[in-house]
Chain A
Amino acid sequence: MSVLVYTESENGKFKKSAFEVASYAFEVAYQMGTTVTAISFNANENDALGAYGVAKVLNVTNDKLKTFNAKAYAQAIVEAVKKESAKVIVVSSSTDTKFLAPIVAARLSAGYVPNVVAAPESVSPFMVKRTAFSNKGFAHTQIDSDLKLIGVSNNSFGVKENKVATATEAFSPTLGEGDFSALSVEVDKVVGKATIADADIVVSGGRGLKGPENWGMVEELAEILGAATACSKPVSDLGWRPHGEHVGQTGKPVASNLYIAIGISGAIQHLAGVSASKTKVVINSDPEAPFFKAADYGIVGDAFEIVPKLIEKLKDFKAKNA
């Protein structure tokens, strides 16, 4: 019996969420009196997981798995679960993971609970707290199956150090042709820029910015802060920004440390989608904008005056605190 955690990497390097899910797995293992085994794909520096409580790493090295493939990765995870006799499987909430987790759950008849935001409330019965109704509520969900699969919300539990001795072993799951029946033929991805899913800070613009030509200052602000850029639904519907930037109930959820909303009034759907962000700042000329009720800090005023000033002063701040 152990807890198995799927630690995601990109180009061989672990994502920050890998350390968060490992930390979560350690908490579960601690409560259950067992240890954590991780599974990684083509990852380097697997020993780094030891800092977050991972006692053993099953590292899969396979050129066919260089590009993410949901079915093949799921098959490898299922095999690792069986090899380790794992009872609990912990995964992240990335787009890739949400793609593969239901496959793992169905193959193992495991109760799958995604969007989990806190350590288990108890392990017998197994009870976790998760978001529901698109962040407008929480559910306390009991998992009754023998095998349990938990998807941890990004940036909710946090990265926690628990140093243990760790050992890495090569793991070669049996993959057949059928595992590659859906094949990636082209990936179009921005490199070297923070994504909404992983960024600590997200800078977002709404219709108050009047047109796509005015996004230069949003991008500049994001660049200074190392932030990802996002937008409201009307902005993506108008085609001012790509759909992938739409955050909110029907777009991407945001769970950053800091969310800055510029010229976004704060429709209920938008506020739901960004509510998991820890600190929210609103800049809007309308003091009655609903976003002011959901924000931690606000400036009432014209974004076209405030944002350039903010950029200038943040440059000074960054220069001083570099």
Chain B
Amino acid sequence: MSTTKRIYGIYADDDDLMHAVKMCNENGIKIHEVYTPFPVHGLDKALGLRKTRLSDAAFIYAVYGVLVGSLLTWYTMNHDWPMNIGGKPAFTWAENMPAFVVPMFELMVFCAAHMMSLTFLVRNKMYPMAPPQNPDPRTTDDKFLMEFVSEDVDTIKQILIDTGVEEITVKEA
């Protein structure tokens, strides 16, 4: 049997939680995960999480959307079947492009928004009917849960008690 345990510390207040995170950092204790009912300001920085690259992905998706829009309008209006509509003939895509700005813009927003949301779900391993990822149902209500995976149960317990923890659970990892 391994001596590694899974430790849950439940807090009732976000300020206490932030204090506990700082204490753990000072004592060099690795926090496995923190579950909160709402985005706690500054928590990601305190935990040393890197900036998410979701917005970079969104930019790429947006560029993709513009490309799709350009290709679609060029192929249908200038290449495959050029038409003279209302005395305004199709010459080159560059000359006709101002009329295509709206669909190109809409396709950009469409691709960026949908593909970014899909990326968000995939990266978080979220899908319909997925089992809840939080270990305690109270963390979507008003409790803040710190999760540790460690052998050093006593030190962690002491820090949690010192920072005003409400409840500690120790489980086999």
Instruction: Decide whether A and B assemble into one complex.
Output: no
Residues of B at the A interface (CB closer than 8 Å) are none
Residues of A at the B interface (CB closer than 8 Å) are none
